[in-house]
Structure 1
């Protein structure tokens, strides 16, 4: 277990590194020492991967600097943008062989920060989020720039924006409960399988994500038509 933990930072492939980290937790039976090794090795790899991609880190920082300026004086504002930057910077290793962000990545990160931006709670914000979601996916497929970083950022953007909009602006308790359950269930399921098996499972099938997408459309429509 110790030798596996020491070699985590040497993995070039992010999935292999993640599996090695999860094996530390599994073999250590989620004990405090195993959790400490997991956090230490994960942090070391994340910082090293960010340092190895200075251009991507500079682009990420410039984008969030602009978002930070736009978020001034708003709630959740600067804390939201700062959290977005930290999470993205710590996962730059998921870019794999790429050294910079793509247009699709940029659109995804803007979507994730809509709650902090002017108009983030406007009637049209839900439709804007859906439009950005469709646009970044199409761009990534058209230009062949899909990456684990894009997948991670897309999942984060959906969870962050739609949970914020639903819990803060959806009056129906039934819709709130159904939406949060639909968005949380795939994440909880994948996490539980990964921790139990000591390896990352395959991504959920699109059919399993359709309820979440349908609820996004419902919440966006209700938000648009609400006075």
Structure 2
């Protein structure tokens, strides 16, 4: 069966990863993997026109809040990554409110709000809110699940490296947010299969680190 014939996003991704693993990720295998992944992403975006339009509108609203080219590149990268993974919505044809909150949190570093003392508190509040919304409205999906993980990693790593003076806290932040993302990616490549996200969320070291970093940022002059 061709990868493009698979309708389940996880099954399709696993098939792509398994092909690369079986070919030992040689240059030709990497090129084929990227080509097939891009082709499937384009097909899935075409199958989710409403969600694609919502992504354009959401990121379009964020652009006026940016101040520099780097900020605008951040928003553009966020849109690109989200658009390439619309297949993770599976049978849902639109973004849920929880998805929108997650994407906004991931883009806080590109806005003036990200530099404020309250940005960490706002990020925690949005994280709690999108989780409750997703459960209440039964709108959980692989898209929201993975977007939540990467939004947290992007925001909290940025906030710590940009505004945290303590080397110890910066090292702990990398261990809590950046290292797990890299580890999951390496595991997926080596096994040829997407691993499950760690649960329960409240037991992750990153949950405690969020409170520490947000409080230090809020109280810092």
Same fold (TM over 0.5): yes
Aligned 1:107-186 pairs, distance under 5 A: 107-186=101-180
Distance 2:201 2:72 in 1: 36
Report the count of equivalent residues.
Answer: 221
Structure 2: give runs of 5+ residues left out of the alignment.
none
> If the length of structure 1 is used for normalisation, what is the TM-score?
0.93
Q: 2:62 — aligned with what?
A: 67
Contact 1:103/1:136 (8 A) holds in 2? yes
Q: What is the distance in 2 between the residues matched to 1:208 and 1:178?
A: 17
CA displacement, residues 9-52 of structure 1 (integer Å, 9 cap, x when unaligned): 22111100011001111110011111011100000000110011
Indicate if the aligned counterparts of 2:157 and 2:178 stay in contact, CA closer than 8 A.
no
- RMSD value over aligned CA atoms? 1.4
| Structure 2 match to 1:22 | 17
Alpha-carbon distance in structure 2 between the residues aligned to 1:141 and 1:10: 31
Q: TM-score, normalised by structure 2?
A: 0.95
**Deviation >4 Å, runs of 4+:** none
Stretch of structure 1 that moved more, 207-216 or 40-49? 207-216
CA contact (8 A) 1:56 1:100 kept: yes
How far apart, in 2, do the equivalents of 1:207 and 1:108 lie? Answer: 15
**Closer, same or farther in 2 for the Cα pair 1:208/1:21, shift >3 Å?**
farther
Q: Which residue does the alignment assign to 1:217?
A: 211
Task: Show structure 1 runs of 5+ residues with no match.
Answer: none
Alignment of 1:42 with 2:37, yes or no, is yes
